[in-house]
Amino acid sequence: MRRLAVGGCLLALAGCGHMPDLPFIGAAEPEPQPTLAELPVAALDTNREVVPAQSLEAVAGHYRKVLAVAEDPDVQLQVRRRLADLELLASEAQESTDAPVSYAAVIETYQELLAEYPGADGSDQLVYQMARAYDMDGRNTESVALMERLSADFPGSTHRLEAEFRKGESYFSAGDYKRAERAYLDVAHSESDHEYRAASLYMLGWTRFKLSRHDEAVMAFLDSLDLLLQDGSRPEAVSRGDREMAADCFRVLAVIFDAQGGSTAIAAHFTGPYQRSYQHRVYMALGDLYLEQERYQDSADTFAAYASAYPDSPFAHEFRWRVIGVYEAGGFPDAVIAAKARYVDDYSFGKDYWSMAAPEQRDVMSPRLRQYLDELARYHHALAQALEGGPATEQYLVAADYYGLYIDGFPEDEAVPDMAFLEGESLDAGAEYRRAIESYEWMAYSYPEHPQAAEAAYAAVLAYHRLKPLQGDEQLNLIDSQLQFARRFPDDARAPAVQA
């Protein structure tokens, strides 16, 4: 059918599905007066070349030869039905060409067969195929009428559920949402497992949305998602068609929840037994909707709402990361800094979240943490340099903390020596002299070949002199620091004075 891709190939194959007793066409020329039992069964000869596939016209030619000599009415019916199905397939194949396509002849054939063989086995198949032909011919009214006939006259037909679904499609397209709802409900509530259940629930959701029954629409969309994502909520776990249907469910759910109050409406819905493994994607869809509409604060608030409501979720860090992206897109630099600080506070090394994170999560978080720690340290360092007094001291110490987190989190990183020196500078400027000495000396003597190693070692000596009064062994430590500087960096111009 043109309107729904799912099942299209199956429908084409189904056209030949009610003649199980017919032989393999082309296996042998039939003898006069054949019966179904006498027709030979094809066998594969592995010593011969594979016979190429025949065209639809060639296959139809074989059936016409069978029909010309067949006297058994059952054989005649089955062959004529097969010929009609082949004619329908041939017409459908023409749709991909520029040639005009008409289904009038094949429709007439199906009408003749139904008239000549009333009540024959497989009549539901004839009605079904004729409805397909009308649909392909653009005659929707006649197609729907036949689907209604199929449902009424053949309640046990294997095509009944599809007929109901197609009726629902037609009613929906015509804006008759109440009749469409009844048709989709019939399909969705069928006890048998079938391929139309998820699609019928999806369309039921849309139908109720059109009827402004939004709460019921939400339930239908979620029931559809339960089926579409039953093999897992990761996109690669489902087929492309199901992924697209699921994505549309999330989009319309975002529209509904926006109208009902945004993320608070989502939180109110997904409580207790109503929680779903994929509910994070509902928040994601709503946040993305707001972002598309340039409602930056609403978008950021939605992403943050999920991370706050489910702080231990394996997706929480992704939502915090999206908050940062939203503020960057909206041009809110102060909010970006605050969001990056929140990311570091929640997911940095040594935090519970990091400890519980799977390796693949850490692989995602680690480069972000490296970037944010660097940016935050430099931001607060620069801010401190622009301030005076207590506010400057506070910012220096914040910067030092971020430098320290970077060093602890990425001990093998090539930037560690620079970070250690900057940490010492920040602590020194923040009057945390003892901690500054520790950072300076660790950098200087762990990386003696670094261009700033001597500078760090000398800065440690100067920091000792700012300790007033020296306590305990600090006087001895000062002497050791001076001697070590002179011994490790004898070519430095300051070495003689320090040693003296």
pLDDT for position 271: 87
Q: Which residue has the tokens 């015509």?
A: 174
Cis peptide before 469, with omega less than 30 degrees from 0?
yes
Q: Which residue has the tokens 């509409």?
A: 293
pLDDT for position 54: 59
Decide: 425 and 414 in contact? Cβ < 8 Å. no
With 0-12 / 13-18 / 19 or more C-beta atoms within 10 angstroms meaning exposed / middle / buried, residue 326 is buried
pLDDT for position 500: 63
257 by DSSP, 3-state: which? helix
DSSP per position, 317-361: HHHHHHHHHHHHHHT-HHHHHHHHHHHHHHHSTTSHHHHH--HHH
Helices (H), 70-103: 73-94
Look at phi and psi of residue 119 and say left if phi exceeds 0, alpha if psi is from -120 to 50, else beta.
left
- CB 295: neighbour CB atoms within 10 A? 18
Spell out the per-residue pLDDT of the chain, length 500, in tens: 444 433 333 333 233 333 333 333 333 344 444 433 333 333 334 344 443 445 777 787 777 787 777 778 888 888 888 888 888 888 888 888 888 888 999 999 999 999 998 888 889 999 999 999 999 998 989 999 999 999 899 988 989 998 999 999 999 999 999 999 999 999 999 877 678 999 999 999 999 999 999 999 999 999 999 999 986 556 567 788 899 999 999 999 999 999 999 999 999 999 877 889 999 999 999 999 999 999 999 999 999 999 999 999 999 999 999 999 999 999 999 999 999 999 999 999 989 999 999 999 999 999 999 999 999 999 999 999 999 999 999 999 999 999 999 999 999 999 999 999 999 999 999 999 999 999 999 999 999 999 999 999 999 999 999 988 888 888 899 989 999 999 999 999 898 888 76
pLDDT for position 10: 30
The predicted model scores a pTM of 0.79
Q: Count the residues in the chain.
A: 500
Diameter of the chain measured on Cα atoms: 124
With 0-12 / 13-18 / 19 or more C-beta atoms within 10 angstroms meaning exposed / middle / buried, residue 196 is buried
